[in-house]
Amino acid sequence: YALYLIHWPVLITYLVLRDRPMAGPRSGVVIILVSLVLAVLATRLVEDRFKAWAWPERNKRRLAGVVVLCLALVAAPVLAWQHVEDRRADRIQSEAVRNNPGAAVLEPGFEFRGDPDAPTLPLPEDLPRQPASLGEACPEDLALPEKLRRFCHESVAQAAPERTVLVLGNSHLQHWLPALRPLAEAERWRVLTWIQPGCFYAAAEDQPGSESCRAWFEGAEQMIGTADPDLVVVQSTFTDQEREFLRPGLEQRIRELTDRGIPVVGIRDTPRFPEAPAECAVLNGEDDPRCTFTHPMVGTPDPALPLARELPLYSTLDLTDLICPAGQCPPVVGNVYVYWDDDHLSRVYSQSAAPVFGERFREALSTDGLRP
């Protein structure tokens, strides 16, 4: 039992002190030997002596006091450490604008004035918690059947909105929501979302085999009808690790919307990689060339551009250069992890891209007649 308790702190302490992701063969053997020695000492000097200590068991009051003391000896350092970590996280977040500019470093004339030793955000322990928030639950004013309301959210609420924007797609639109929110708040837009990960606003037969995707796709028309949007945002292209393509049926969906007088903005898909660049960077270092990827879509024109030239109410938004500047897709831009897994933007990076996103979104709207 003592070995179980001791080996992990010994290993983690070694990794932190040596700034290594894992122990090698020689250091691993040393860690095992040190853990065994400490376990034997802890068993003989602590555990066995406590077992033989009869004083606490002479009455219930003594026993309760010893139990409370033992709990305090464990709880006090844990709480103190948690307090230190919370203060560290707050300090990092308060300095993020200066130390973690993210996509802002790609703007012409940008000059970094932050701490060159500041940690990269999101912190490695926060990477799994980076999916963008969809916002509040489906608002009551939308007349949707109860079985469909799980797909609907109000990402930006407005008491008297200038316009209603409907974001309709999967998680590759969801990860742009942090970039869209500042624009929507500035323009007083209400943003509703109809999002289901892994599903495609294209053709009914193009949906994965899950019942959720079929229900989401079939309910999209009801959502459009009840939301009565002034603008619909869709995903214009789709990627896998080898290519970028237009899904069958998407063009028909876009034409149906624009024929009804609803402007549509299509956001080009983001590259997908064989592994998570951020995880590679955490393990091997941000400058390790194995953690910088590329994709066949990088440097090519948006395949949805011909449709945008044909349809006056449809325009496209291409942000690939924010993810893969200069033709390469690094794991970190502006001291921020770009992706949190192998194909989704981190919430922090999406937020950092908000100024450029907003500028290009406004340009897209100026071409589809929604703005003067």
Question: How would you write the pLDDT of the chain (372 residues) with one tens digit per residue?
Answer: 899 999 999 999 998 888 777 888 999 999 999 999 999 999 999 888 888 888 888 888 888 988 898 899 889 888 887 877 777 777 767 787 889 999 999 999 999 989 988 999 999 989 988 899 999 999 999 999 999 999 999 999 999 999 999 999 999 999 999 999 999 999 999 999 999 999 999 988 888 777 899 999 999 999 999 999 999 999 999 999 999 999 999 999 999 999 999 999 999 999 999 999 999 999 999 999 999 999 999 999 999 999 999 999 999 999 999 999 999 999 999 999 999 999 999 999 999 999 999 999 999 998 655 543
| Residue 103 covered by a domain | no
What is the model's pLDDT at position 315? 96
User: Helix or strand or coil: residue 167?
Assistant: strand
Q: Do 130 and 83 share a structural domain?
A: no
What distances in angstroms separate CA 344 from CA 16, 238, 339, one per listed residue? Answer: 29, 13, 5
Are 361 and 297 in a shared domain? Answer: yes
| Domain co-membership, 84 together with 142 | no
CATH number for the domain harbouring residue 196: 3.40.50
Assess if residue 111 is contained within a domain.
Answer: no
- Residue 109 domain-assigned? no
221 and 310 share one domain: yes
Identify the pLDDT of residue 371.
46
Instruction: Tell me: do 24 and 147 sit in the same domain.
Output: no
pLDDT the model gives residue 178: 97
pLDDT of 367 reads: 66
Q: How many domains does the chain have?
A: 2
Give the domain extent around 218. 124-368
- Indicate whether 108 belongs to any domain: no
Which residues, in sequence order, are CB contacts of 299 under 8 Å at separation 6+?
Answer: 327
Which residues fall within 8 angstroms of residue 333, CB to CB, at 6 or more apart? Answer: 102, 103, 105, 106, 322, 325, 349
Domain match, 151 and 284 both: yes
pLDDT of res. 62: 87
